Amino acid sequence: MTSTEALSPSVPTVAVGVGPLTPEEVVAVARHGAGVVLTDEALGAIDRAREVVDSLAGAATPAYGISTGFGALATRHILADQRAQLQRSLIRSHAAGSGPEVEREVVRALMLLRLSTLATGHTGVRRATAELLAALLSHGITPVVREYGSLGCSGDLAPLAHCALALMGEGEVRDAAGTLVPTAEALRAAGLEPVELAEKEGLALINGTDGMLGMLLLAIADLRRLLRTLDVAAAMSVEAQLATDRVFAAELQELRPHPGQALSAANLVALLADSGVVASHRGPDCNRVQDAYSLRCSPQVHGAARDTVEYAATVAARELESAIDNPVVLPEEGRVESNGNFHGAPVAYVLDFLAIVAADVASISERRTDRFLDVARSHGLPAFLAGDPGVDSGHMIAQYTQAAIVSELKRLANPASVDSIPSSAMQEDHVSMGWSAARKLRRAVDGLTRVVAIELLTAARGLDLRTPLQPSPATGAVVRLLRDAGVPGPGPDRFLAPEIETVVGLVSSGAVLRVVEEVIGELR
């Protein structure tokens, strides 16, 4: 979803309590516009933590984040009559992002995840502040957050500060229709009042890894869909290039028991079942001994990618169970303690790992596509799948587009998390760069979507050119989907970019998976 798209009003409300949200709930709020409500249990936990903060605020001894400055300025004791100004100054100064506007689904994800941490009762905000954050989500009011500003340590400070600024009635937001308006105007239209932040609330609103975690959860959801779609594309390529399905047999996968590999191979077997194309060259006269790696090793590569995504999901699940703030309130003990849980390293590492995955599965997809276009390797298909090779160029330049994207994905696979730039007068002398890792992963996921779409587009044309041999029921359903969506079959050259974009939409919406699963059941 882009930053200007309107939200759906028909998605159920998500309850935010003291326990962790599920990844599905995060996606529902972030991507599909679900509203939120704080549970009574969460409100009780918020109130108990606030009592601790109020007690420390009235004490003579300074307490960090409550009656002191912040970061390298933590040694200054702030008097009670200056503390409201302290909170305003913190948020205004930290709302220092720059660059393009961040996508609405990302901003909604980070708002929801910050709210979830507030609901644990370990941050010390007031009930009214948490309820206003929930109301912004439910009313579809989304603060404008900029691309640059987070180092992935001390939390996603600038992005979260832009959201906290909206709670103060300042800055700019997008309303539910996606229109850019001043925050004060949007709050009035929704019947909401801004809050004046009290002790500890400024830090509690900005000291979390919520942006990078939100982008990780969205990427995991996308990659799970894309990896199953990659199995569909690989099956169509195996089929149309007259390769064998015997290498995907379960007994061969059991010799190397990686779970993702077994799942991918099982998908390929199901996808190729009852294929007339595959059956046509199964006889004793077939002289194909072994297929190229990009065909034969699809389960090994796709499966390793699956296992990596699931590892990332375990890290995300731990983060969803976390209460990240500094200082953190321990209500049972009546105290507030500094800690380092805001450091984004655990999330940053897996974000970088997933960028590697996206680059590599895109690379094998591009190699399968390229084999269609070369008469030395395509087993009887016309050069570049062109209608009249020489007059027509067919899918020649579609593969160039794939190659350009894959090259970009390889650059994006370079890790952000190995970098660190000291900040805050050397108080914050090692940072994770997790936000940067998340931003490049989003670009990588988009690029992978386009690479998969071009393989599907090319493989569908290859299957058409194998007529009268018939594809499997599952892959044939994908070919029909493309044709019904306005993507014609083989013939003279035509404007190809709109066809690519159509298939990109079918991949990203899940339509390709749906038509397959209507035929053979759910892919794994």
Which residues have a catalytic role annotated? 64
| Residue 165 neighbours by CB under 8 Å, 6+ apart | 91, 92, 95, 143, 171, 183
Cβ 175 vs Cβ 181: under 8 Å: yes
Q: Which secondary-structure segment (H or E) carries 142?
A: strand 142-143
Round to whole Å and give the CA distance between 198 and 65. 11
User: Tokens 């062109």 label which residue?
Assistant: 386
Cβ 127 vs Cβ 50: under 8 Å: yes
Round to whole Å and give the CA distance between 34 and 53. 32
Cβ 94 vs Cβ 158: under 8 Å: yes
Give φ, ψ of 143 to 5 degrees.
Answer: -60, 150
DSSP-based helix, strand, coil % in the chain, nearest 5: 55, 5, 35
Sequential DSSP letters for 209-246: -HHHHHHHHHHHHHHHHHHHHHHHHHHHHHHHTT--SG
Cβ 175 vs Cβ 189: under 8 Å: yes
Round to whole Å and give the CA distance between 250 and 256. 10
| Residue 391 neighbours by CB under 8 Å, 6+ apart | none
Q: Three-state SS for 10?
A: coil
- Kindly report the three-state secondary structure assignment for every residue of 339-389: CCCCCCHHHHHHHHHHHHHHHHHHHHHHHHHHHHHCCCCCCCCCHHHCCCE
Round to whole Å and give the CA distance between 182 and 174. 9
Cβ 185 vs Cβ 470: under 8 Å: no
Closest C-alpha to 154, from 88, 230, 72: 72
Residue 190 identity (one-letter amino acid):
A
